[in-house]
């Protein structure tokens, strides 16, 4: 059984309505999810790992000032999240058409041109492969094995 099916069953197997409902059955507000879950997770203290909000609401409990943990990424928005998902799936070897379906794009060209981004290491690896191929051609007198 796949995860979506398990989720549906956990929600009472509804035939209609929001796939990810809030506590009153309405669609989850993405802005609320960002504020309650994503930002709370990413904006935590370098020293004690507590959220920025906890530091603000209960300052007397802390013997230090809040300093954000710089090792965590900065939230850049939903488009960046989707682009990161597409790029990571691509680098895991997921086919382009499957990534297109996951992102629900009508055209795979949009997925490839706007969502899948080369990583710095990919650029270096590509240049290394080119250099090896050029050296191979040079070493074999102009023929590639």
Please determine, for residue 4, whether its predicted confidence score (pLDDT) is greater than 80.
yes
pLDDT of residue 116: 92
pLDDT of residue 114: 93
Domain-wise residue ranges, the chain: 76-145
Give DSSP secondary structure letters for 50-105: -BHHHHHH-GGG-SS---B-TTSPPP--HHHHHHHHHHHHHHTT--HHHHHHHHT-
Give this prediction's pTM: 0.61
pLDDT of residue 111: 95
For the chain, the average pLDDT equals 88
pLDDT tens column, 10-51: 888 888 888 888 888 888 899 988 998 899 999 999 999 999
pLDDT tens column, 80-106: 999 999 999 998 999 999 999 999 999
Please determine, for residue 142, whether its predicted confidence score (pLDDT) is greater than 70.
no
Residue 140's SS3 state is coil
CB 85 within 8 A of CB 103: yes
Please determine, for residue 145, whether its predicted confidence score (pLDDT) is greater than 60.
no
């Amino acid at each position: 059984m796949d995860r979506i099916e398990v989720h549906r069953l956990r929600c009472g197997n509804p035939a209609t309505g929001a796939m990810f409902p809030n506590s009153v059955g309405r669609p989850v507000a993405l802005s609320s999810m960002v504020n309650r879950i994503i930002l709370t997770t990413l904006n935590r203290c370098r020293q004690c790992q507590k959220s920025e909000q906890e530091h603000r609401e209960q300052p007397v409990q802390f013997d230090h000032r809040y300093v954000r943990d710089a090792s965590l990424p900065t939230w850049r928005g939903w488009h960046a999240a989707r682009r990161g998902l597409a790029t990571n799936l691509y680098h895991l070897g997921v086919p382009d058409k499957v990534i297109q379906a996951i992102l629900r794009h009508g055209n795979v060209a949009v997925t490839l041109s706007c969502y899948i981004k080369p990583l710095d290491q990919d650029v270096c690896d590509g240049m290394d492969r080119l250099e090896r191929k050029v050296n191979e051609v040079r070493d074999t007198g102009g023929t590639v094995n």
